[in-house]
Chain A
Amino acid sequence: MHPVDWLVVAGYFAWILTDGIRRSHRTNEVEGYFLANRSLPWWAVGLSVMATQLSAITLVGTTGRGFGEGMSVLQLYFGLPLAMIILSVTVVPFFYRARVFTAYEYLERRFDVKTRTLTSLLFLLSRGLSCGAVLSAPSVILSVIFDWNLPLTVLAMGVPAVGYTLVGGVQAVTWADVKQMFVIVAGVAAAIVVLVAGLPSGTSLGGALHLAGATGRLDAIDFSFSLEKTYTFWSGLIGGLFLMLSYFGCDQSQVQRFLTAKSVDEGRQSLLMSAFAKIPLQIVVPLIGVLMFAYYVFVPAPLLFNGVHEARVRASARAGDYVAVERQYQDAVAARRSAADAYSAARSRGADAEASAARAAFAQGDAAVSRARAAATGIVRDVTGDRAFGDTNYVFPTFVTTHMPIGLVGLIIAAIFAASMSTVAAELNSLATATVIDFYRRLFVREASDAHYLAAAKWATAGWGVFACIVALFAANLGPLIDVVNRFGSFFYGSILGVFVLALGVKRATGRGAFVGLIAGIAAVAYVATQMPWIAFLWHNVVGVVVVVLVGVLVSLSQRRDR
């Protein structure tokens, strides 16, 4: 990286660390440290909600997906606005007025201590592991692209995030999130501008989008109803609705955001900010990938964007196979480029029949390019043993470092750091809160001073930070582990939502009903995920909620009848 880019990244770190801590007040009280004394404005909380959800995995992975497959991933968010309305009407006023620190604390008041403890434990397990994954994925990518030392990259993201979270609590996290969100949006906007300006002369933005459209990459809405396809309109609207209800309404890393707002109304407004802005923001992220696809139709691109893996394959016994695939790739790229030129020329002349033929040839050429990339990825997986390897994760960072101007490279790298750190900090803060409130204060030391619990919270933040860094380093060496962590988390989302549906919506539900329902829901999702792998993961959330509510109601009713 150029010294100017290093300066931009250093400026980002200095800004986040000093300003985040400077804005923290009354963090010597438990309520100030965990809930900012319920004093934060809706717009700051709203930006924090968005920054917490948008991790570096989203930023780098979704641009890569846009490059490889297109806009279909956007459908994941179609249920989000509806989820935010439902949560604003139900959960926000409920938790806020219950004056709880954690969502799970309420479950003890409504049911019993074992239901509270189990749900909080599931949160700690899944969120603690995911915190490591959030640190690991961008660290691996940046260390490959820049040849950085991996443990140092993990620590460069992890230590500052732990530092300001530990010192300033939720206030430092929120004010850092606000700035990080601006850095992320600036980075995304810069990438779009550079990509559009960088299209070769003679290719307009409309022409580039027609090329992407010819390959189906602009197909953002798929109305087919299929349990097998991961992203369709219906899986996004229904499965995505349940996922978002669970994530924003029952996951402490998000619940803690709106509990810091000044009032119920400000808490609601903070969620509704995402309801308005999330889909437009998520349109832009895969659109960067689509524009990179159009860009690389005209500009030479490597067969594999991960240079380290490419070198390893060339030095392996499969080198001959790789060279053969590379030859096919170069032929396919040349054929695709000729078809693209023919398509653009026919369109500008208004020759419809000719344009249709060239468009079909272009789509055929692109399919051949995709086949070559898939074959190369398969060779990498065989050689490295990393079954989850996806080369598209390296497309955006490679584009940034090879085609973006000095200064903007630093901005995008800062945006990747910001996306990762904002998520990690909010997760660490919520992990510490649940550890102290749901376990330490509830089960071990019930009566102690604020200073005592504050010290415990800081130890918990540091402990979870160390845990996340260790998981990140292990996950980096065992690629598929990230996949396992994500699947592990998805086992619980729908089931935990089911418990809260019982708590808030079913008057007759009992503690035993909720507890048995939760176990049954997790078992049902685990069964579906392992025995029926063809069912897309978004539907797991629906399965979890339905099983928990049904079993919970049946057990509760039978218990009342017994009495």
Chain B
Amino acid sequence: MTSPEGSTAGGREPADRPMGAIYVSVIVVEIITLLALWWFQTTFGRP
């Protein structure tokens, strides 16, 4: 990725907090939500 002019990366800005675990949890929550929707759809969608 090209770097922005005027960037302060590596300067005054504090180091980024690792966000990997949050990203993984976003994906896990989405998968769980989709599974719940599928359950909802199939449970109430049949007699």
Which A residues form the contact surface with B (CB < 8 A)? 71, 74, 78, 81-82, 84-85, 88-90, 93-95, 97-99, 106, 109-110, 206, 209-210, 212-214, 216, 218-221, 263-265, 268-269, 272, 275-276, 279-280, 283, 347, 352, 355-356, 359, 503-505, 507
Contacts and interface: CB of A to CB of B under 8 A. Distances in A.
A109 B2 contact: no
Given A81-B30, A98-B4, A98-B7, A88 B40 contact: no
Contacts of B23: 85, 88-89
A236 to B, nearest CB: 11
A279 B31 CA distance: 11
A82 B14 CA distance: 26
Given A221-B41, A265-B16, A355-B47, A109 B5 contact: yes
Contacts of B34: 78, 221
Interface residues of B, number: 30
Interface in B5-46: 5-9, 13-14, 16-17, 19, 22-23, 26-27, 29-30, 33-34, 37-38, 40-41, 43-46
A220 B9 CA distance: 43
5 contacts: A81-B29, A97-B13, A109-B4, A214-B47, A507-B2
Contacts of B43: 213
B28 to A, nearest CB: 10
Contact of B7 (A97, A280, A505): A97
A514 to B, nearest CB: 12
Nearest to B22: A272
Interface SS of A by simple majority: helix
B29 A276 contact: yes
B26 A94 contact: no
Contacts of B13: 97, 263-264
User: Which of B1, B9, B13, B47 gathers most chain A CB within 10 Å?
Assistant: B47
A71 B47 CA distance: 19
A376 B5 CA distance: 59
B16 to A, nearest CB: 6
B4 A220 contact: no
A416 B33 CA distance: 27
Given A88-B19, A276-B29, A279-B33, A209 B44 contact: yes
A283 B32 CA distance: 14
Nearest to A80: B30
A352 B44 CA distance: 14
A98 B6 contact: yes
A356 B29 contact: no
B14 A263 contact: yes
A353 to B, nearest CB: 9
Contact of A504 (B2, B14, B26): B2
Contact of A90 (B1, B19, B27): B1
A219 B41 contact: yes
A272 B26 contact: yes
A218 B1 contact: no
A254 B20 CA distance: 23
B2 A221 contact: no
Nearest to B36: A283
A363 to B, nearest CB: 11
Contact of B4 (A85, A97, A221): A97
Contacts of A90: 1
